[in-house]
Amino acid sequence: MSDIKKVVLAYSVGLDTSVILKWLQDTYQCEIVTFTADIGQGEELEPARSKAEKLGIRQIYIDDLREEFVRDFVFPMFRANAIYEGEYLLGTSIARPLIAKRQIEIARETGADAVSHGATGKGNDQVRFELGYYALEPGIKVIAPWREWDLTSREKLLAYAEAHGIPVEMKHKTGGSPYSMDANLLHISYEGKVLEDPAREPEEDMWRWSVSPEAAPDQPEVLDLEFRRGDVVALNGKPMTPAQVLTELNRLGGRHGVGRLDLVENRYVGMKSRGCYETPGGTILLKAHRAIESITLDREVAHLKDDLMPRYASLIYNGYWWSPERRALQTLIDNTQVYVNGWVRVKLYKGNVLVVGRDSKSDSLFDANISTFEDDGGAYQQSDAAGFIRLNALRMRIAARLRPN
């Protein structure tokens, strides 16, 4: 262990990494650099500085990465309409490559020879962090305390924290362990406690960003989203930065009970896991993006994107953001977004996002003269369809004659 001189710790100030900070000092006897990323978790981050200082940390990084997070990670992912296993909008998954990237940058800046994270040995995040580390810095050393120590439960972590005078926030009112939570500008997730029984309904007071659909306003709210090259650039006519867009969509969606999800997912490490998620802004964004693509994308391009999307989503979920195959797919996806320009109108009502209008003055492929049910003035020759159908039925007609049963 003596060959580790300096470690950059991804420090969230929560229970796990607060214990890890002290554990690294005691176990490795090395210098610690703390790195806390502001990616929109909505919490005051200065306690990260004071808590680290109390433990003798001299190099403390607290970086505002909100705009980079949405611009360079969330928006590119949403251009692909990425959903994992039909439901999950990848809120935790997409944050890990950015944190890993900045952690490696800090390791280079400070001359650190190792990095450390608070992901457990049962979860996906250990894979996501470490694949990112190695892709960006092949020779970096990685310390994953959950794979080394004997603090194998949250109760043991709480006991360790109490024994070493480490303050722990948000202890459950009954004295048990808090939820395992992760928040950023895209979502907030919940695991543990009653959620470990898939048959039990989540406690209503668990949710933090959204009201229940039953408690949402009785009047709908209408939003106009303007897209440029597949990204939202304005809401209700007001230009916004990527982080501002997502922040406002979260506020509006949460007010109307949009974006709650209760999911049992298949982790990359092999087990099934039950988690709950709030992704109000992302839910609106996905619905609106598919709507603007519906009038601006060529049919076969749109279908190709849909074919590739599950593979792309799995790459992100499994931690392969920095892989050559994800980069190659991103190049294709971004190329499809050149003409994804225009506006979409959505209505938010009691947990629902309803598309009620969409248009693109410059790039719409929708031609009312051809699709109309009224007289099209010869724009479309309906008699052409007979030959089209006969040719497409030819193989089935041949087979039916040969094998009538």
Supply the residues annotated as catalytic: 16, 96, 125, 180
Distance set, CA 155 to CA 22, 27, 45, 244 (Å): 17, 20, 25, 38
Q: Tell me the residue ranges of DSSP E strands in 267-395.
A: 272-278, 342-349, 352-359
Cα–Cα distance measured from residue 81 to residue 100, given in angstroms and rounded to the nearest whole number: 23
- DSSP H helix total and E strand total for the chain: 13, 14
DSSP letter for each residue of 318-350: HT-TTSHHHHHHHHHHHHHTTT--EEEEEEEET
Tokens of 299: 């049919």
| Residues, the chain | 405
Residue 303: CB atoms within 10 A of its CB come to: 11
Edge-to-edge strand order for the sheet containing 238-239?
Answer: 238-239, 231-235, 221-228, 342-349, 352-359
Residue entry with tokens 């050559």:
324
